[in-house]
Structures are given as structure tokens and as C-alpha cells.
Amino acid sequence: MSRGIVSSFNEINGTGFIVNDEVPGVIKFTYKDIKRQGYRMVYEGQQVIFDLHLSSRGPRALNIIPVETEYFR
């Protein structure tokens, strides 16, 4: 599993991007990739753990688990 930080998340269309040290640029994800009960939401600046999938269409984050911190509770 990889670690990264959410650089952006659009609540309206449910898409976002993660940055980390393993992959140059950004890693795309959708709200369906967030593993959380109830409303699937992450916040800009929040740390996440995820499975990194590399394809011809670019890197993709799957099975995203938000890292809960005091700031994001």
C-alpha cells in the first residue's frame, strides 16, 4: 500500500487527486475508490493510504483509506 496526501477533491463530481513521493505528478481517484462507511469524503491536505494502480491511462488510487487525525475528526 502507498501513502499520500489529497491535493484536491471535488464533492460535486466525486473526483480528486492525490500526491505522493512514489509517482511524479498526481494520482486520480473517484469517490467510489474511498473505503469508508456512509458518505465517502476526503479533504484537501488529508493523509490517505491506498493501492496504486499503474495503467496506460496514468496512475490511479484504489481502495483509499483516510488516515484519521485530530484535525479531520
The pTM for the full model equals 0.86
Q: Does residue 32 lie in a domain region?
A: yes
24-46 per-position pLDDT tens digit: 999 999 999 999 777 788 999 99
Share of the chain above pLDDT 70, in %: 93
Q: Does residue 17 lie in a domain region?
A: yes
Q: Does residue 72 lie in a domain region?
A: no
* Mean pLDDT score of the chain: 91
70 pLDDT above the threshold of 70: no
* Residue pair 30/15 in contact by the 8 Å Cβ criterion: yes
Specify the number of domains making up the chain. 1
73 pLDDT above the threshold of 90: no
Q: DSSP assignment of 11-41, as one string?
A: TTTTEEEEE-SSSSS-EEEEGGGB--SSS--
Which domain range does residue 51 map to? Answer: 2-66
Q: Does residue 48 lie in a domain region?
A: yes
Tell me, what's the pLDDT at 31? 94
* 71: DSSP letter: G
Q: Does residue 41 lie in a domain region?
A: yes
Q: Does residue 57 lie in a domain region?
A: yes
Q: Does residue 31 lie in a domain region?
A: yes
CATH of residue 20: 2.40.50.140
How far from 7 is each of 38, 46, 56, CA to CA, in Å? 22, 8, 22
